[in-house]
Amino acid sequence: MTTVQTGIQPISTSRRVKDRVVQALVYLAFAIAVVPLLSVLWLVVKNGLARFDLEFLTHSMRNIGARDAGGGAYHAIIGTLEQVLFASLIAVPIGLLTAVYLVEYGSGGRLSRWISFFVDVMTGVPSVVSGLFVLAFWVLALGMPFSGFAGAMALSILMMPVVVRSAEEMLRLVPNDLREASYALGVPKWRTIVKVVLPTAFTGIVTGVMLAVARVAGETAPLLLTVFFTDSINNNPFNGPQMGLPLYVFDQAGRPTDTAIDRAWTGALTLILIVMLLNLVARLIAWWRSPAKRGS
């Protein structure tokens, strides 16, 4: 027999069985993981569609009585967008610069190891603690009012470590060859980082920032302590209580009437849609910037 001569054996039955069993386990695990995701999506869409109308998107809860139908989340949508925008404005530059320091300048020194350590610690900070910190520092100690900006600060504390970690990973993926090629052309280090390293990592960094945005857009606890509640539209993020979609859902879901419960579901649906929309925009930007597009 040729198998004997060459020493090449057919696949044994036990390996075939193991292969099948592990394959089945992997599929099963996947199915289990997807069940909650799909069921949440299904529930939110099914229950949220009832009130997903123009009034919901364009009206606040001002002068809507406890038993009244109608009302909407316009004030909360505005609040969430502003809070996430300001949180990103704070967290993305700081996070990105931190990542640049860690990858390009820190080179395993004592300072960079400490920064890495504290970024890890920050990743584990419960969201309510960041809210408490801003409450204690900004509102109580400095005497500033509850505001959307205070909420944005609390959210930025949560965003920062996510941005640092993802940007750091993306910067490390940039091949060293490119940095050397740039140095060899007589380009200073900082210009190399700005013009070669960051553009190369751009797509990945955008994805990381969007993940961070998605994470903080749904945070409720830090907002509870920093932006407070309101049923009215407050366009000014620097003064007075503002609403946010997670808070809105929390507030409406706690009310005893069916109309309020419906509004809570629709609020959740809106939040998911906003995050998806932001993701889509980010992907479009990344696609538009990628060299592959110009190549075709």
Q: Which residues of the chain form contacts with another protein (CB under 8 A)?
A: 107-108, 175, 177-188, 191-192, 195-196, 199-200, 202, 289, 291-292, 294-295
**CB-nearer residue toward another protein: 9 or 296:** 296
Give whichever of 232 and 290 is closer to another protein, judged by the CB atom.
290
Nearer to another protein by C-beta: 110 or 294? 294
- Contacts of residues 290-293 at CB distance under 8 Å and 24 or more positions apart, as own/partner, are 290/203
Q: Closest distance between another protein and the C-beta of residue 291, in Å?
A: 4
**Cα distance between residue 5 and residue 170, in whole Å:** 51
Nearer to another protein, 145 or 199 (CB): 199
Query: Residue length, the chain?
Result: 296
> Which of 258, 295, 237 is closest to 67 using CA atoms?
258
Strand ranges for the chain from DSSP E:
none
Q: CA-to-CA distance for 288 and 224, rounded, in angstroms?
A: 38
Nearest distance, CB of residue 224 and another protein, angstroms: 43
CB of 189 to another protein, least distance (A): 8
Smallest gap from residue 292 Cβ to another protein (A): 7
Q: Which is nearer to another protein, 139 or 198 (CB)?
A: 198
In Å, what is the CA distance from 155 to each residue of 56, 121, 204, 222? 25, 16, 22, 7
Between CA 282 and CA 268 the distance in angstroms is 21
Q: Which is nearer to another protein, 112 or 257 (CB)?
A: 112
Nearest distance from residue 182's CB to another protein, in Å? 7
φ/ψ of 219, rounded to 5, equals -75, 130
Please say whether the beta carbons of 79 and 155 come within 8 A.
Answer: no
DSSP class of residue 51 equals: G
The sign of the CA dihedral 139, 142, 145, 151 is negative
Cβ distance to another protein smaller for residue 143 or 186: 186
CB of 117 to another protein, least distance (A): 21
State the DSSP code for 50: G
CA–CA separation, 116 vs 149, rounded Å?
Answer: 27
